Structures are given as structure tokens and as C-alpha cells.
Amino acid sequence: MMPNKISLRSVNYQVNGETIIDVPNLELTQKRVGIVGRNGSGKSTLVKLIGGLIKPTKGDIKINEIKVYTDRKNAIKTVGMVFQNPDHQIIFPTVSQELAFGLNNLGYTKKESLDKALKVLTSFGKSHWAERPVSTLSEGQKHLVCLLSVLAMQPAVIILDEPFTGPDIPTVRVLSRFLATLEQTILLISHDPLTLSDFDRVIWLEKGHIVLDGKPSTVLEEFEKEMHRIGDNDVEFEFSN
């Protein structure tokens, strides 16, 4: 099977004249790609651009030759996103309804969507969740529902924005193992370098620019060194005042 290709050409994104993202050239063909960076570095903005949720001020973004912002019909079949806070993504009262929603958007009938939603839940051993109110789920379980909702639509690329921030350690381990089994291309933002240590590629973003891009062993080591250096300087500043 040919790898998926995410291409960014001369991409710039500005808000009120201020540059938030500036990526001259980026091509991703690896199966699992991680993005690290400090808060405010532009990580979430970058993946929203890749997912076609916002339009670049300049430049071109494609996934498998599909222009993700302008060709939304094909984009929703190609790329799916799971956000950091599942409560910002879930809109239906029951699990089966939540999974069926995306399938409705792909053109399936209500019955077809619910049938397919149940099949997805069953394939992951969660058929007993079908009529369960989403409000009764833990945060980690809600994250899984969001992921299953995306998987039900069978996109080629799945983008995850800090999926391990809220859940407890056992849930994080379960989600990590689950993600490792997926056939889709995974693009994952994480503040924890350990979650990206076995990825194929890691990108370090700072102030909207790529600082380093390459193997996790190299990028994460340099990123952690810089974070420690910044942290040490902050402590010295606090003591001096």
C-alpha cells in the first residue's frame, strides 16, 4: 500500500498581521509523526491547517493531492481530527449517535450510519457502549469515543491534538497501545516526549517555525535540553526577584 503524503508548500498563516505559522516546505510520508513544542508554539494551529479547518494566508496544503481547505467533501473522507478536550468535540447524547454523525456527513442513511457505528463499536469490543449516555463516560473513554468516531469514517490520516493530557496513566497506556495498532497515518501533538519516542519522525515547532525535524532520538533529546535550559533560567529569575 502506498504511503499517505501530506504536503505543505510556502504555508504562512497570519492573524491581524502577526505570523502564527511559517512553514516554507514540508512533506510527510511516514506512518507516525509527532509534533512537540512549548505552549503557544503554533502546534494546534498547524494541525488545524493540515486538517483543513482553517485557511492559510498564503501557500498550499494537500493530503494525497486533495486540497484540504477548498475540497472539503473529499477532505472529510481523507483526514479526521481528535481534539484535546473531548467535550468540545462530542455533541450527541449517546455513543452510537456520536459515531453515526460523521457517517451521516459522508452520505449514509440514518440506519446505515447506526449499523456501521455498531459494527465499529463491536470490532473494538465496545458494543455495550452503543446506547450508553456519553455523560457517564470517563475522560479517557470520551477520548476513545472521539477516536472511534473518526475511525468509523475510515480516513487515511488521523490527527490527534494532545490526546494524553486528560486521561490517567492506565488510560494513556491503553490509548497508546490502541494507536500503535492502527493502519492510518497518525499525526500526534504531545507535550510528553516519551509518548513520541517510538514514532517514525518528530517535528519541533517554536513560534510557528520548524526548529528541528527528524528522528525522535535526535529531535526529542535536543527539545528536552532546551526545555531544561529554559526552566533553569526561569528558576534563577524567580530567585533573583
**Average pLDDT, stretch 98-121?**
94
The pLDDT of residue 234 is: 59
> Is position 201 within any domain?
yes
Global pTM value: 0.87
- Decide if pLDDT at 236 tops 90: no
pLDDT one-digit tens code per residue, 182-207: 889 999 998 888 889 999 999 999 99
53: left (phi over 0), alpha (psi -120 to 50) or beta: alpha
CA distance 227 to 2: 37
**Pair type for strands 209-214 and 201-206:** antiparallel
pLDDT digits (tens, 9 = 90+) for 46-80: 999 999 999 999 999 999 999 999 999 899 889 99
Predicted local distance difference test score (pLDDT) of residue 201: 97
Q: Which three-class secondary structure state does DSSP give residue 70?
A: coil
In a domain, 109, yes or no: no
Q: How many domains does the chain have?
A: 1
**Domain containing residue 64: CATH number:** 3.40.50.300
pLDDT score at 189? 93
Q: Does residue 120 lie within any of the structural domains?
A: no
CA dihedral over 15, 17, 18, 19, signed as positive or negative? positive
Domain that holds residue 174: 6-93+133-240
Q: What are the DSSP calls for 149-172, one per residue?
A: HHHHT--SEEEEESTTSSS-HHHH
For residue 180, being part of any structural domain is answered with yes
Q: Answer yes or no: is 101 within a domain.
A: no
pLDDT of the residue at 55: 96
pLDDT at res. 239: 41
Per-residue model confidence as pLDDT tens digits over 12-33: 999 999 999 999 999 999 999 9
Residue 240 has pLDDT above 50, yes or no: no
State mean pLDDT over 148-152. 91
Tell whether 111 is covered by a domain. Answer: no
Q: Is residue 200 part of a domain?
A: yes
Asked if pLDDT for residue 163 goes beyond 80, the answer is: no
CA distance linking residue 192 with residue 194, whole number of Å: 5
Residue 13 in any domain: the answer is yes
